[in-house]
Structure 1
């Protein structure tokens, strides 16, 4: 406190070692905490006898009587006020120390986690082919993150489990049911953390496995590992009532056979794929589409790009008249206020629009994950789907030409 050390780390280490080593670590930490709180209480008593405290008490006592001239004066009242002021002054000085002990801040959590990772390397190598060099590189990255008070999701579960063994952690467990939507975008680490925080709660996971737009490890393949002791019930709903038969036929070609969506009876126009002669020509075509959409107030139109950066670039290239009629949405905090909007694919999933324009200039769809992203973009359309490109899209090579109308301009 203010540069003065009252309890050294050597003393704390010795007091911990003096506890019964047959007890669990978290119980030994509690015993150490009790010892430290008693020590702090003793320090407060010693501090209360010092002259600076007495002087502070006298000053505050005089101020109290000056502020309240009608206050009854008696030796008993003055003695009681002196004791109260003395306790307040001393406790204020040691407040941060007391709070730190109550919060187990005498345990260096980052160092404990790094020590844990170092100690389990041999065990990990028995079950994986990870090298010591790779492990050390990972630890160096984790160490840098911890210095900046950051923790990756994959480390959070292990970190939390370790800390639970070091000292008691109280978590409000009133939640009986946990519902997770868009489960395909949740990594296993996040759900594992929820299982640790709420071990008694039932968990319902909902999502469309075909709309996985993030390139991260998905919970989908880890359900049995995450819930080994629990009964897991699976319900697969394969019929979509959002899009027309023609749009569903077109989009299904970007899925595997097992994941394809069953068709609905509602029919409509074939999706249109327009390949412009140049990027400039594709912008002109889009401007015309925006003008038509503005005039059709009954329909809600989404222009969907692959990424948020693509959305921003597109919006900046639009003519001012089009910008006035289009809303750019690149954050979950943005509200849909207009009938024509520009969305990145990750924000459009789960939404539906009368008309969708898939904007592909400057975007590539080469990775396996891009098949699902393109599927997600296409299936946001309920009635009409248009794909605008400035070159032949390789992703369409596998599509049956009879499932869409190709137009070259």
Structure 2
């Protein structure tokens, strides 16, 4: 880079910063002015006189109030717009832009220059000094090198001839480095970004978005965008930028409340919650599938992540779990629900004062009294309407009942005042006053019945769920799933017993909710426009189909790494095929991210050899130390080595994660470190927050996270004996960015046998 180029770019940066300062001062003055105007309008509410003597006076008052409301709304909008503008200006002042591209459009005489940053900035309406990275023209920067580049605009495809691609690193208003490159994003800039230390919060990757990631971010046509990405390939980061892009692209028609992200655990939600605010957008709705289930079943104790990970199923139960998670089982629930249109729906009495008010036989007679053209939801709505009408009709009959008379006699003065409310107490006779109070008492007493009708409490969903499970052997051939009738019957009784104590597995929760929705005619949350599901390899096909059913108007983005399937293991291999049958193939887009950026080449090369098909993963060329394997004869020796490693990492200012297989192991390690006065934080549950320094985390909570240094705790044959844990070991190893240490007490797990010994060092 020549001195003249550097001088030119620094001069341009100085000019932009000067104009940013001017714009910031103007916006601050506008904010102050708008705030004062708003305060004056609020004070002037006292000047509005309420006149009700004539119709004209009432109309004048209404118009005056409406005028005040409109002025206040207008000032509020101005205030909010100025606040948003000021936030963008402050963000740009820290780092105005990170790239420049020069390009020439067909038919134009000379090239045009644009600078790209986190937001747009113009000094006049038609003169942009900085373009938002999400603007259509900015995709030129991400999608290709020099020469002819095609990009999408609202009017269709456009072609330009890219003459220059320049990248900047700016600190405190000074250009530190300039790169000219013919790549989408030059390796040097990416290398500088990746060489930094890890943090407790994920950062935006706007400055280093790669071409394949840009395809994910800007796709607006697919109903299903499936992203298969190796550990550390930037799939989650790219998807968060995708949310920011969509909010920008559909500004005015889409808000963050219409976007839902299902993530692997709450810990991960906390890790990513700064990315969108950093880009100037509000966070979308974030939850785990567990939280989604709990939100709908607050009184049921749903199987936790820890319980799910640590449960030990025999072959029969594993086959049943596999069957319950299949698309075939999902279709079976729908098939069963259809049979309920003709009979066999289970009902409950609606009681009043300990006796049936509407008995279940009466409710069933109403429900099945409608013709066969009625769908389940329509049948239910009609039944509720009849019951509500019948309830209203019973109010008059109930007024003379003895319990009503006793209730009136026992009323206190406060209770009487409450019943009268604002009602004038002038009645033509004592009888009319009595009837007024009696009606109020009866209506209040009937409220629980009205609520029971409104909330479908006359349907016995629990009994229906059990009835469905018991009917399964008659509806399908269980032997195809290697399930015997005896094993199925035993599992049903176990499920029913657990349900009586308000406990449920995650697999059964999905079935229960889907059956309930079909019976009640629910059509899902139709205002949600985009659903993102991270780590889909740990979802069953049933759960994914249920989410598609629950968000019928949404476009889906699903991302994961089938090499990291902790819970579904072998089932994950059929997931792609089953997804294919849920969505229109013409509106399905698959993006494969094979290049991994998180770890050094040495850690990536080691990690990928743990896998059977690991050769598909490509390491980014960033050098570091080889992983270290240390094997010990005693637990005390392994503990001493751990403490030594922590001291070394702390001295190098590296964040360290000790990843244990289970929480029980994590507790044991925590006790050892406490006894040695080594400061560390144990992550016991997904609801904790990541903190700086040393953390101890069970393997099932480490998904999606990354750390400077990882210590894989006790990878012995005793702890990791079986082939089914290969993906778990890979997940643990691939959390490390710069340093990986594997400790084992006793013989090392045979899962390392397939790894080339040249790829790691043995102490």
Give the alignment's TM-score, normalised by structure 1. Answer: 0.86
- With 216-225 and 134-143 compared, the bigger mean Cα shift is at 216-225
Question: 1:98 is matched with which residue: 430, 442, 450?
Answer: 450
Distance between the aligned counterparts of 2:396 and 2:385, measured in 1?
17
- The alpha-carbon deviation at position 80 of structure 1 amounts to 8.1
Aligned position for 1:346 = 700
1:308-349 CA-to-partner distances (Å, cap 9, x unmatched) read 2111111212353434x1221232222232322212222223
Q: Could you say what secondary structure the match of 2:592 adopts?
A: coil
RMSD of aligned residue pairs (Cα, Å)? 3.2
Q: Structure 2 CA distance, aligned partners of 1:60 and 1:175?
A: 49
User: Any gaps of 5 or more consecutive residues in structure 2?
Assistant: 1-351
How far apart, in 2, do the equivalents of 1:287 and 1:17 lie? 70
Distance in 1, matches of 2:555 and 2:424, equals 61
**SS at the partner of 1:389?**
strand
SS of alignment partner, residue 711 of structure 2: strand
Question: CA offset at residue 89 of structure 1?
Answer: 0.8
1:311 aligns with 2:663: no
8 Å CA contact 2:523–2:550 kept in 1: the answer is: no
8 Å contact kept, 1:271–1:385: yes
State yes or no: 1:132 paired with 2:482.
no
Indicate the residue corresponding to 2:332 in structure 1.
Answer: none
2:565 and 2:572 in contact (8 A); partners too: no
2:737 matches 1:382: yes
Cα deviation digits, residues 293-316 of structure 1 (max 9, x gap): 3333x2111222222211111121
Task: Note the residue ranges of structure 1 that are not aligned, 5 or more in a row.
Answer: none
Contact 1:187–1:217 (8 Å) recurs in 2: no
Change (3 A) 1:279 1:361: farther
Moved more, 301-310 or 8-17: 8-17
Contact 2:564 2:730 in 1 (8 A): yes
* Alignment CA distance shift 1:392-1:18 (3 Å): closer
Write the distance in 1 (CA, Å) between the matches of 2:757 and 2:558: 37
Would you say 1:36 and 2:387 are equivalent positions? yes
1:185 aligned to 538, 547, 571, which one?
Answer: 538
**Mapping 1:210-289, distance limit 5 Å:** 210-215=563-568, 218=571, 221-228=574-581, 229-231=583-585, 232-257=588-613, 260-289=616-645
- Name the structure 2 match of 1:47: 398
Q: Hey, what does 2:525 align to over in structure 1? A: 172
SS in 2 for 1:293: helix
SS at match of 1:6: strand
The answer as to whether partners of 1:287 and 1:322 remain within 8 angstroms in 2 is no
Q: Quickly say closer, same or farther: Cα 1:120–1:218, change in 2 above 3 A.
A: closer
| 1:255 CA drift (Å) | 0.9
Is the counterpart of residue 4 in structure 1 residue 362 in structure 2?
no
Could you say which residue in structure 2 is the equivalent of 1:19?
A: 370
The structure with the greater share of residues assigned to strand is: 2
Q: 2:462 maps to what in 1?
A: 110
Cα contact 1:210–1:259 (8 A) shared by 2: no
Secondary structure of 2:357's aligned partner: coil
Question: 1:137-189: CA deviations, max 9, x gaps?
Answer: 23222322332344434334443443344333364311011001122222222
Contact 1:117/1:139, CA 8 A, preserved across alignment:
yes
* Pair 217,111 (structure 1): closer, same or farther in 2 beyond 3 Å: farther
Given that 1:153 and 1:190 are in contact with CA atoms closer than 8 Å, whether structure 2 keeps it comes out as: no
Give the whole-Å Cα distance in 1 for the aligned partners of 2:657 and 2:455: 50
Deviation at 1:74, TM superposition (A): 3.2
SS of the residue aligned with 1:180? strand
| DSSP-derived class of the 1:312 partner | helix
**Paired residue secondary structure (2:598):** coil
Task: Identify the match of residue 753 of structure 2 among 375, 397, 409.
Answer: 397
Structure 1 residues 376 and 55, CA, compared in 2 at 3 Å: closer, same or farther? closer
Using the TM superposition, give the Cα deviation of residue 78 of structure 1 relative to its aligned residue in structure 2, in angstroms: 8.6
Count of equivalent residues? 404
- TM (norm. structure 2) is 0.48
Of 91-100 and 74-83, deviating more is: 74-83
CA 248–15 in structure 1, closer or farther in 2 if over 3 Å, else same = closer
